[in-house]
Structure 1
Amino acid sequence: MKTTKYMLKSGVLALSMLATSVMAAVSADEVAKLGATLTPVGAEKAGNADGTIPEWTGGLPKNAGTVDDRGFLSNPFPNEKPLFTITAQNVDQYKDKLTPGQLAMFKRYPETYKMPVYTTHRSAGLPQNVLDDAKSNAANTKLVEGGNGLENFKTANPFPIPQNGLEVVWNQITRYRGGSVRRLVTQATPQANGSFSLVYFQDEFVFPTSLTDYDPSKPSNILFYFKQRVTAPARLAGNVLLVHETLNQVKEPRLAWLYNAGQRRVRRAPQVSYDGPGTAADGLRTSDNLDMYNGAPDRYDWKLVGKKEIYIPYNSYDLDSPKLKYADVIKAGHINQDLTRYELHRVWQVTATLKAGERHIYAKRDMYLDEDTWQASVIDHYDGRGSLWRVAEAHSQYYYDKQVPWYTLETLYDVISGRYLALGMKNEEKKAYDFGYKASTTDFTPAALRQAGVR
């Protein structure tokens, strides 16, 4: 796959600068490009040369579609049909715009795997205060503690004009996902023949500035609070995970607790990090696979390879349809690719290589992040022998009524075993995401876990 030389038309930065570990914020001249040649969060505003990627014009308006009484969004592009479909028979025509992991999926499932490719829409936008904070961050936010923390950071997108791979990854970790949200989602870990059972979660995700008792006069090292309660099956129901995610993870590492409903005990959970096992995931994901990638970046060296154009899952409204059953989505080997939508977008490619002396089941990760949202779209995972092992795809959608980019569904395919994990489905749930969820700091204390775990 060809890697385009990282030299934006706007002249943002030269590739030679990216190899250095720059801890300082960018110059005033660079900051001035945000909202001019660059979008407010640092993407190239212009389209590409052949017109297959359009200019960014602000994203979809809040009334781009309708919202039903359960909170599900209608597809703002209901009449569009695929421009073409990539299959195992024609994949060589498109391999320069696919990742090695995506190519491996065609090889692993030559009869069933496909990628319907649609017209590209740069649909994502953000609230004005988030855009304003991104510009402030560009001038003021710095990496500290060897790159394991941030200072002078506001809201989201600390490095809209990144100078190295670590800064790009921090954009993924801190990106805007709404100030607060409560969601009901399901997880499936199908067998190779497609049979599956479901695990149901209630997640609560809140940034400190959205807490009802937020006090701006009291600086906090908390990036966000996360609480996850298992609601089914019965053998797991009532188990609760609580995470305090921190900004400076050297000064204060991630704090996590687990409430075990069977034992009725709250315990510290240091294993909820790095390659600790993911909740009820049947060994198919690590803790830091959630949200495509999360947590402290200190175990890897991060190299910014450059920018390129690839086909990534995007505007996945049909996959989120409340008319679907989970059995319509989950199939043997992979999800139902007829329900997916891929578009050509520019992405940042970052390669994470495990540092000498550090431990992780993934020796290397190749990450591809959407330029308009800083969301990781595809991540290829390699084992200690250098073999491709797992391929993650994030089927994204833009919650246009709330101005929040996020994922419809995360998939993590094990191309060796033939199994996979799908997390985030909500098609059959009574309610979609509840943005604006009200919570206080007392809701995210270890003492609150026991109450949250009531079955």
Structure 2
Amino acid sequence: MTILRIPLAALMAVAFGSALAAVSADEAARLKSELTPFGAEKAGNKDGSIPAWTGGHTTPTAGDKPAGRRGDPFKDEKPLFSISAKNAEQYADRLSDGQKAMLKKYPDSYRIDVYKSHRTATAPQWVVDNTFKNATRAKLNGDVVEGAYGGIPFPIAKTGAEVMWNHMLRWRGTSWEFNINQYQLTADGKAVLTTDGRADQQMPYYFPDGSPEQFAKGNEYWMIRLVNAGPPIRAGEAIVGRVNIDGSKDQAWVYLTGQRRVRKLPNPCCDTPTPSAAGVMAFDEIEVWTGRLDRFDWKLMGKQEMFIPYNANRFLQPKTDAEVIGKNHFNPDHMRWELHRVWVVEATLRAGQRHQAPKSRYYCDEDTWICVLGDRWDANGQLWKTLWAQTFVAPDLPGNPIGSFGFNDLLSGQGFMGNLYNAKASQYPLKPRFPDSVFTPDALAGEGVR
């Protein structure tokens, strides 16, 4: 792997411990000059294959229907080239270990279609303003963020932990709904429906009328309630989660129809299987990474140009799940990959902690801070899982939230595809703010199927 640069500040943080403070006003001023408002390099790369950022994509997309299905702003574009097992070596320095392993494991069906790169990342002005304020007020106290609110917490990130917090506190809206299907991919090529559900989600961290002081009273940054309509064996099941800046205070409850009661989950964290995916995926594998930083030591490896899933409105266009699900992985006909700069972060199991994956590596887009690819190694040092997530263009947000995500188990041949909107009438509709009571165990009990 060729890393373009390793910031001196990152090396110093590793050498001298986690004295992680906000940047100076002079350094923050770069967010209004050579850096984008979120902290990416505004300029393109030398050969122009990565363009300059010019404000992101805010133009309404033809085919977008309010609270309905979404169009594709780049529907007329064709792939520039395709990467397969036959020519993978030619592009090896721009591929993750997991993608190289997928090309090798499935040489006859897996490929990466590379399209023209578009830097579409954007956000409302109030999120931009808060991000600028966070640069000089946010800091890490151990593994916990302090002083951040309403924007990217560390737009000028110095450490791997700061990059991962940027991913977790990324802009994805204030309140929204999704209707989804999720599937387990078996080793023999079958797609088994695990979830047909509707979810309400909310980010109190992004309430426009909030403040760091108000938010710090509870520190719950993400809330979700998922109710299953299917498959039949899971119809009526539900889960509520309240995710806290301090991961030790995360809370989740499930309603199980067989027991007819709400139960609090004892450990909604880390490598514990999540009920939202029928136990197929771990909590901290949701959307590539949704976990607790205190389980690992985080090392910022630097920045690299890589082919990553991006601007994936193309994936939203088919109207059946079968069209986007391949035999052992997603159907590459509907995937869009682009060349972008990513921050590379390695996670190594911290002394005294336990986890099924003692080593991981994440690739986080510089424009959105979303970790779109991840690889995990098992206790024997074998490359075990490769994780992926797609962003799509949502001018009504405006922004680039994660759509579908999943993983492939490179050892067992199994996999998972989550958050498929293809068979649904709506794709990530924005909603007015939900009452806090929506995300409580009492709400689950009141809605429970008896």
**TM-score, with normalisation over the residues of structure 2?**
0.94
- Residue from 267, 274, 283 that aligns with 2:263: 267
CA distance in structure 1 between the aligned counterparts of 2:104 and 2:268, rounded to whole angstroms: 33
Shift of 1:56: 0.4
Q: Supply the RMSD in Å over aligned alpha carbons.
A: 2.0
Q: Which runs of 5+ in 1 are unaligned?
A: 8-12
The answer to whether 1:257 aligns with 2:253 is yes
**Which region of structure 1 is more displaced relative to structure 2, 206-215 or 258-267?**
206-215
Which residue of structure 1 lines up, in the alignment, with residue 438 of structure 2? 443
Which residue of structure 2 lines up, in the alignment, with residue 244 of structure 1? 242
Which residue of structure 2 lines up, in the alignment, with residue 222 of structure 1? 220
- Residue from 296, 311, 322 that aligns with 2:307: 311
Amino acid at match of 1:341: R
Contact 1:272 1:287 in 2 (8 A): yes
| SS of residue paired to 1:32 | helix
CA distance in structure 2 between the aligned counterparts of 1:187 and 1:84, rounded to whole angstroms: 30
CA distance in structure 1 between the aligned counterparts of 2:214 and 2:9, rounded to whole angstroms: 39
| SS of residue paired to 1:171 | helix
Shift of 1:409: 1.1
Amino acid at match of 1:427: N
- Residue from 357, 364, 371 that aligns with 1:376: 371
- Residue from 176, 180, 197 that aligns with 2:175: 180
Offset from partner CA, 1:376-424 (integer Å, 9 cap, x none): 1100011011110000111211212221311221020011111110001
Which residue of structure 2 lines up, in the alignment, with residue 359 of structure 1? 354
CA distance in structure 1 between the aligned counterparts of 2:360 and 2:225, rounded to whole angstroms: 27
Contact 2:205 2:222 in 1 (8 A): no
Which residue of structure 2 lines up, in the alignment, with residue 298 of structure 1? 294
| SS of residue paired to 1:192 | coil
Contact 1:22 1:163 in 2 (8 A): no
Alignment map for 1:423-442 (pairs within 5 Å): 423-442=418-437
Which residue of structure 2 lines up, in the alignment, with residue 10 of structure 1? none
Offset from partner CA, 1:209-253 (integer Å, 9 cap, x none): 677998985732211211111220121111111111111335xx2
CA distance in structure 2 between the aligned counterparts of 1:287 and 1:14, rounded to whole angstroms: 31
| SS of residue paired to 2:59 | coil
Amino acid at match of 2:307: Y
**Which region of structure 1 is more displaced relative to structure 2, 273-282 or 78-87?**
273-282
State the percentage of identical aligned residues. 38
**Residues 302 and 15 of structure 1: CA distance in aligned 2, closer, same or farther (over 3 Å):** closer
CA distance in structure 2 between the aligned counterparts of 1:93 and 1:399, rounded to whole angstroms: 34
CA distance in structure 2 between the aligned counterparts of 1:92 and 1:164, rounded to whole angstroms: 31
Contact 1:317 1:397 in 2 (8 A): yes
Which residue of structure 2 lines up, in the alignment, with residue 2 of structure 1? 2
Offset from partner CA, 1:335-392 (integer Å, 9 cap, x none): 1111111000000000000112211111111000000101111000110111100001
The answer to whether 1:289 aligns with 2:285 is yes
Contact 1:41 1:160 in 2 (8 A): yes
**Which region of structure 1 is more displaced relative to structure 2, 130-139 or 396-405?**
396-405
**Residues 210 and 367 of structure 1: CA distance in aligned 2, closer, same or farther (over 3 Å):** closer
**Residues 452 and 282 of structure 1: CA distance in aligned 2, closer, same or farther (over 3 Å):** closer
Which residue of structure 1 lines up, in the alignment, with residue 190 of structure 2? 195
| SS of residue paired to 1:67 | coil
Contact 2:321 2:422 in 1 (8 A): yes
CA distance in structure 1 between the aligned counterparts of 2:388 and 2:50, rounded to whole angstroms: 20
Shift of 1:178: 0.1
Amino acid at match of 1:258: V
The answer to whether 1:94 aligns with 2:91 is yes
**TM-score, with normalisation over the residues of structure 1?**
0.93
Shift of 1:282: 5.9
Q: Which runs of 5+ in 2 are unaligned?
A: none
Contact 1:205 1:227 in 2 (8 A): yes
Amino acid at match of 1:174: L
The answer to whether 1:122 aligns with 2:127 is no
